[in-house]
Amino acid sequence: MTYSVKELFLTLQGEGANTGRRAVFCRFAGCNLWSGLEKDRATAQCTFCDTDFIGTDGPGGGKFKTAQDLATAALQCWRSNKLGKPLIVCTGGEPLLQIDAALIDALHAAGFEIAIETNGTIKVPQGIDWVCVSPKGQSDVIVTTGDELKLVYPQKNVDPKRFNDWDFTHFFIQPLDDENQLHHVQEAIQYCLDHPQWRLSLQTHKMIGIA
């Protein structure tokens, strides 16, 4: 298959359990919860996305005709096989609309540990090394086990207690980034103080000015 990638670049993971870790980010184009168009935001299942995932015109982006082509491009972003275990973070949009067995095999063959950030509405294929699920609104989340659950907070009619019994190693509350962000940060801090199962996740990449 052809893989449509919005952008592919080297950075530091900015949030969650792997914050600060060197990683290649592969942002796939497309999502099943929002078209990415502002005219559709109000009626989308996810109304607060802060990411441009339309098209393939971002840095390093493009249409990759084979899994090997994409794995090779990702490895070129990493730049050196002497700099620890390569990590690729597959995000979007919704990466599981495109990730398949061929790509998983190609990335592993290139030496990558594969992490995904998914909305949890699509089954995770075998071979993914790190699964982060970020539930959105009232969408039908079917992925209830993984490495980290990262809940943007607050979300209308979404109570974190809904996820307390799910099978994740880490549970993160991440303040919603909108015009009331400072208030949401305080809300998130208080929630974590009151519910120690949950830890605070901040978008550190935005704080330090990296992608």
Please write the tens of the pLDDT for every residue from 97-150.
999 999 999 999 999 999 999 999 999 999 999 999 999 999 999 999 999 999
Each residue of 52-91: pLDDT tens digit? Answer: 999 999 999 999 999 999 999 999 999 876 778 899 999 9
Res 81: pLDDT: 65
DSSP type of residue 155: B
**Cβ proximity of 169 and 190 under 8 Å:** no
Residues 6 or more apart in contact with residue 95 via CB below 8 angstroms: 26, 28, 116, 117, 118
Ramachandran bin of 144, using left for φ above 0, alpha for ψ from -120 to 50, beta for the remaining angles = alpha
Cis (ω within 30 of 0) for the bond into 154?
A: yes
Q: Tell me the C-alpha distance between 135 and 142, whole Å.
A: 10
**Which residues are catalytic, by number?**
25, 31, 46, 49-51, 117, 205
Topology (CATH) of 3-150: TIM Barrel (3.20.20)
Res 139: pLDDT: 95
**Residue 201, CA distances (Å) to 18, 88, 149, 150, 172 in order:** 10, 20, 11, 8, 6
Each residue of 143-153: pLDDT tens digit? Answer: 999 999 999 99
By DSSP bridging, strand 130-133 and strand 167-175 are unpaired
